Amino acid sequence: MTKRILIVDDELDVLELVAYRLKKRGYGVLTAINGQEGLDSIRAERPDLVLLDSCLPVLDAFEVCRQLKSDEELKHIPIILFTATLDTVVAEKAKELGASDFILKPFDSEELLEKITSILE
């Protein structure tokens, strides 16, 4: 069964690049451009993993994490947080809210794919 990954990022170039790389690796890809759209997609589609940008319009990444991890049916879905600056406060808050891992923007595609593979296996 193909693993499905939801990418939530308001930067369309990042969204398209990551989607392209994941599709080439055989993953099913879902996309959203803001936090609320991402949360709605998680609830409707139940992806195997969420790649979540830390700075999103409409609903921020921390609120998406909080709502996802407080839902008994969805809290098992792992989250990798994309962030441009990984300061201690952001890292601690995201970890506290249930993010599985982080990756700094700009990121190396191979590093991202390794993190995804590690979490999904």
Give per-residue pLDDT as tens, 23-46: 999 999 999 999 999 999 999 999
Chain segment 70-112, per-residue pLDDT in tens: 999 999 999 998 877 766 677 777 778 788 888 878 888 899 9
Q: Measured between alpha carbons, how far apart are the two ends of the chain, in Å?
A: 13
> What letter does residue 121 receive in the DSSP assignment?
-
Per residue in 42-54, pLDDT (tens digit) is: 999 999 999 998 8
CATH number for position 62: 3.40.50.2300
Whether pTM > 0.85 for this model: the answer is yes
**Phi-psi region at 58: left, alpha or beta (left = phi > 0; alpha = psi -120 to 50):** left
Report the percent of the chain where pLDDT is more than 90. 64
**Count: domains in the chain:** 1
Question: Which residue range(s) make up the domain with 33?
Answer: 4-120
